[in-house]
Amino acid sequence: MADLHITLLSAGIAALINLWHFWRCGRARQKGNIAHGDGGDVTLQRAMRAHSNFTEYTPLFLLLVFVLEITDHSGWLLGVAAGLFLVGRVFHAIGLNSDKPGMLRMIGMLCTLLPTLGVAVAAILAGVKVI
């Protein structure tokens, strides 16, 4: 059986990041006294969008990491890609707090895009047995 330490570590860290998003949304709801929706509150809208963005990108990325590991295509590059992706998701969320697109948001987007592209290409190459 394959050693799934990268998948396990990444999924565990992703779960903690997801809880952080949950906390941020809850805190904004409490401050704005908002029970449902976003109530037009910009802080809550940004927290909700960051949480949604995280949940849009993370499952597919984790699935790609998992299939690469389960087919014995893991290694330090996969671990680095997973680490960059997760750090990028945090940077992106923090960057969304600003009124204007800033450096953290841009770094977060790049740290999401590049590792996702890398593991997607690796999965395709593994699928056609090039690697």
Shortest CA distance to 85 belongs to which of 27, 19, 6, 3? 6
Rounded distance between C-alpha atoms, residue 44 and residue 33, angstroms: 11
The pLDDT value given to residue 2 = 75
Cβ atoms of residues 51 and 22 within 8 Å: yes
The pLDDT value given to residue 91 = 97
pLDDT, block means (10 residues), the chain with 131 residues? 91 98 97 95 96 97 97 95 98 92 94 98 96 90
**Count of positions (residues) in the chain:** 131
The pLDDT value given to residue 100 = 84
